[in-house]
Structure 1
C-alpha cells in the first residue's frame, strides 16, 4: 500500500522551504509515495510547489488574530470555509497523515484531519510557537521542533528540514567549494575574485536593508566589495550601474537558486527567519542578522544561539544604517580570518539530517493509523 501525505503550509519561504525539503526527502525514500501540498493561491507556494512537481490544493487565507478585535469576530465564519476546503483535500488526496508547518494553512488542516481521524504531525520552525501550531500540538503526539528549547507538548527536536541543494553544500571539500564559488559568482554577474556580500530580506524583502545598502553602495564599491542584493519581489534598490573597474552591485527581486547565492558569498546580511538562520549555519556562512522589529521577537530568538556560538552578529533594525555598514561591516569584510572563524562556529548549531528525522516521524504517524 502506498502512503499518501498531505503537507500544509504556505505564505512565505519560512513555511514553504521546510515543506518542500520534507516532500523531497519523502520522495527520495519512496518515489511512488503520493505527496500533496495544501496552501493558498496568493502565497509563495502557488509558484514554487508546482515548479517542484507537487500537486497544490488551495484553501482560503485565514489569519489567526493574536488579540481581540473585528478579525477575531469574523474568524469562525472564515475558518469554517477553510476547514471545508482542507477536508476536501484530505479526502481527495487519500491522506494517511497530515503534516503542518504553521501559518494560515495549518490550522484548517489540523482541524480537518482531526475530524476525519487522520494522524497529524506538527513541525514548528521558531523558538516561540505560533497560534496554529499550539493548536495542532494539542491534537497529536507527533510534534517536531527546530530549536531544542521550544515549548510544545510531546515535542522532539528534529532540527530544520533543508532543501537538499542547500544541505549538500555542507559536504563539499575546500577545493570543490572554491570551484563552485567561482562558477556561482560568474553565473550571478559577479567578479570571480572579489570579496562578496549577500544582502537578503527573504522572499518578501526588507525595506530597511534595501534603503541602507542602497545608500551605502558607494562605500562598499570604494572598498572593493561586490554585492548580491535580493530585494524582494516588487521592491527596488536604488543603485547606480557599475562603471568599468568598479565592484558590481547586482540586484535580484528573488533568487530561485539560493544555493548559488550562498556559494558566492563571504558574508550575509539578512533578516533572522528560522529557515535562513539554519541554512546559513549549515552552509557555514557568517551573517549579520537584522531581526524583524515586529511580532513577538521570535526572529531575535532564532539568531541568538548562532550568535552566542560566535557564528554571527545581531543588529537591531534601527541600528542597520549606512554608518553601521561603514564602521562595522566593512572592517569585518576586510578580515578573512574572522569571517572563516565565524563560519566554522555557525556550523556547530546544525542538525544535518533534519529532513530524515522529520520523515521518520511522519511515517511513524502514518503507521499509527492502522
Structure 2
C-alpha cells in the first residue's frame, strides 16, 4: 500500500527546504508514493518544487489582516474558500496524511484536514512557532508534532531539521574532507579561513562591517570567503581586488563546502542555518536579523548557551567589532576548538527527515516500507559507527 501525502508550506527557503527533505525521504522509501506539495503561486516553491520532481498545487495566499480595512472585510470569505479548495484536493486525491511545515498555506491545509478527517503531522522549524503551526499542533496529537529546537513551546518532540543528506554527512574531523572543500571553493588548504554569509538575500550590515575591516583581516594572514547574495557584493568585490585572499561570491552551490572550509562562520540565525551549523559543528557568530518576532535570536540561543557560538546584535556588528572581537577569535585555534567541541556535545538531532517520514506513515496507518539507508545516505555518525563495525 503506497502512501498519499500532501505537504503544505512554502514562501521562503526556511519552509521549502525542510519540506523537500521530507518529500525526498518519502520518495526514497517508496518511489510509488503519491506526493503533492501545496504552496502559493508567488513563493520559492514555484521553482524549487518542480525542479525537485514533485507536483505543486497552489492556492492564493490569504494572510491574516493586521488592521481593519477592506482586506479584513474580505478575509473571512477568502479564507473559507481556501479551506474548501484544499478539502476538495484531499478528497479527490484520497490523501492519507497532511504534513505541514508552516507558512500561509499550512493553516488552510490543517483546517481542511480536520474537516475531511485526514491525519495531521506538523514540523516546526523556528524556536518561536508561527500561528499556522500553533493551529496545526492544536488539531493533532503530541506524537505527530516534531520541532527543531529544544524548548520550542509546542507539544511534541525535538527531531531537528529535515535537511539535505550532504549536510548531515560532512565531517569536519576528517582533514581530507576539509581540504577537498577548500579546493572546490578556490581556497588555500592550510590558511585560517573565515566564512561570512548573509543567506540568499544577503545582509547589508555584514557586508558593510566586513568592508571596513578588510585590510586588517587580510593583513592578519586570513583568507575570507564572503557570500554576499546575488547582486549585493559589488562594493566588496571592488575593494577585494587589492586583497587576493578575500574572496567574494554571490552564492555558493553546496553550503556543505563552506561549512567544511570554515574555521569560523559569521551568519544570520535563520532556523535552517542554525540547524545545519549545529549538525556540522561549525564555530559560529550569529547576527540575528533585526526584524520579525525575535525568532532568530531564539533559534541561536541553545548554541550560544552551550558555548558553540556567539551572538551579536545587528547594530553591534560593526567594523570595530570585527577588528576587536572577531579577528582575535579567528586567530585563536584553541578557543575555536572549544567551540567545536561544545557544538558536538550539543548532540543536535540528525536524520529529521526520516523521523518526520516515519511519523507521517504512522499517522496515516500505512506500513512504513523500511527501506535501508545505504552509505550514500549515512550521517557522519552512521558512517563512523558502521565503518567501525565493518573493520572490527
What is the TM-score when the length of structure 1 is the normalising length?
0.89
Deviation of 1:85 after TM superposition, in Å, equals 4.5
Q: Select 1:345's aligned residue among 342, 353, 357.
A: 342
The answer for the alignment partner of 1:281 in structure 2 is 278
CA distance in 2, matches of 1:323, 1:139: 49
Sort the Cα spacing of 1:243 and 1:3 in 2 relative to 1 into closer, same or farther, 3 A. same
Deviation of 1:28 after TM superposition, in Å, equals 2.4
Sort the Cα spacing of 1:181 and 1:77 in 2 relative to 1 into closer, same or farther, 3 A. farther
In structure 1, runs of 5+ residues without a counterpart are none
- The worse-fitting range, judged by mean Cα deviation, of 306-315 and 215-224 is 215-224
The answer for the alignment partner of 2:115 in structure 1 is 115
- The 8 Å contact of residues 231 and 237 in structure 1, kept in 2 or not, is answered as no
Deviation of 1:243 after TM superposition, in Å, equals 4.9
Post-superposition Cα deviations, 1:142-189, rounded to whole Å, max 9, x if no partner, equal: 222222322224x222222222111111xx373xx3223222223223
Q: Select 2:150's aligned residue among 141, 148, 151.
A: 148
CA distance in 2, matches of 1:85, 1:221: 57
- The 8 Å contact of residues 217 and 249 in structure 1, kept in 2 or not, is answered as no
Q: Select 2:266's aligned residue among 252, 262, 269.
A: 269
What is the TM-score when the length of structure 2 is the normalising length?
0.85
- The 8 Å contact of residues 12 and 204 in structure 1, kept in 2 or not, is answered as no
- The 8 Å contact of residues 38 and 89 in structure 1, kept in 2 or not, is answered as no
Post-superposition Cα deviations, 1:326-353, rounded to whole Å, max 9, x if no partner, equal: 1111111111221122122112330123
Counterpart check, 1:365 vs 2:363 = yes
* Greater C-alpha radius of gyration: 2
Sort the Cα spacing of 1:301 and 1:237 in 2 relative to 1 into closer, same or farther, 3 A. farther
What SS class does the counterpart of residue 338 from structure 1 fall into? helix
Counterpart check, 1:178 vs 2:175 = yes
CA distance in 1, matches of 2:191, 2:318: 23
CA distance in 2, matches of 1:212, 1:84: 50
Counterpart check, 1:209 vs 2:206 = yes
CA distance in 2, matches of 1:89, 1:264: 45
Q: How many residues align?
A: 362
- Note the 1:76-95 alignment, pairs <5 A: 76-95=76-95
Deviation of 1:47 after TM superposition, in Å, equals 2.3
Q: Give the ranges of 4+ consecutive aligned residues of structure 1 lying more than 6 Å apart after TM superposition.
A: none
Q: Select 1:232's aligned residue among 208, 212, 229.
A: 229
Deviation of 1:92 after TM superposition, in Å, equals 4.9
What SS class does the counterpart of residue 249 from structure 2 fall into? strand
Sort the Cα spacing of 1:42 and 1:205 in 2 relative to 1 into closer, same or farther, 3 A. farther
Q: Select 1:354's aligned residue among 352, 355, 376.
A: 352
CA distance in 2, matches of 1:91, 1:85: 10
Sort the Cα spacing of 1:335 and 1:218 in 2 relative to 1 into closer, same or farther, 3 A. same
Deviation of 1:77 after TM superposition, in Å, equals 3.8
CA distance in 2, matches of 1:223, 1:74: 60
CA distance in 2, matches of 1:81, 1:193: 59
